[in-house]
Amino acid sequence: MDDTVQKQPMPDRSARDGLRRATDVIHQRLHQHPMLRRLAEGSISRSDYIALLHRFLMFHEAVEDRLHRGPDLSEHGIDVAERRRSPLLHNDLADLGAPAMIAPSPVHQFLLVPGSAAAAIGYLYVSEGSRLGGLGLARSLDGLLAPGSTVGRSFLVGYGPRHGAMWRDLCDAIERMGAADEDRDTMISAAMGAFALFEACIEARGTLLAETV
């Protein structure tokens, strides 16, 4: 055998593998963001935690708006309405006595309404995947919030007993949709766009709060 023949890269074993590989660089970069790192370490301050919740809210309200205006995913076993996470963020901000309204962000305009079910599922991969590990992050706040309580951290706790089942349902939809190369490529492109929006929201500068009544 000719030793000079280069080995070809192994194909992704699943559609989720493809999504994970394509978004790994930005994913790892986000893990190193100072505010997200302090959250994971349990060293985040109350003011920084509130600011981070507002940045999460910027992202989730934008994605939820696009998904609401996008294609129906019920035939793929996905109820977009029940996966809305912005209400949890509003609850947490209210529990912390923080204004829930945020100023409109110009970064929102760069996330398009999904033109297909594959694009919508690509968005969901990012918005739903951001809650993985949430229970551990919630526990890291015991030094800041009341230990053992979900007050101020319902967003991180997520869907409670349905948490795992809802993620598995999405993963099943990803694999079914990703069976076609074109749809897999569309999912990856949409996920990259959603990750870019998430990073832009996390990196937001200046005040995020709108004037309160």
pLDDT tens-digit map of 70-129: 999 999 999 999 999 999 999 999 999 998 665 556 666 778 999 999 999 999 999 998
DSSP state of 10: P
Which residues are bridge partners to 209 per DSSP? 102
Residue 211 neighbours by CB distance under 10 Å:
7
Q: Compute and round to an integer the Cα radius of gyration of the chain.
A: 18
Contact 77, 172 (CB under 8 A): yes
CB of 38 closer than 8 Å to CB of 48: yes
Q: Which CATH architecture has domain 33-202?
A: Up-down Bundle (1.20)
Three-state secondary structure call for residue 93: helix
Query: Which amino acid would we find at residue 12?
Result: D
Instruction: Find the mean pLDDT for residues 162-182.
Output: 91
Contact by Cβ (8 Å): 170, 121: yes
All residues at 6 or more sequence positions from 172 whose CB lies less than 8 Å from its CB, including other chains:
77
pTM: 0.86
CB-CB contact of 202 with 33 (8 Å): yes
pLDDT (tens digit per residue) in 24-48:
999 899 989 999 999 999 999 999 9
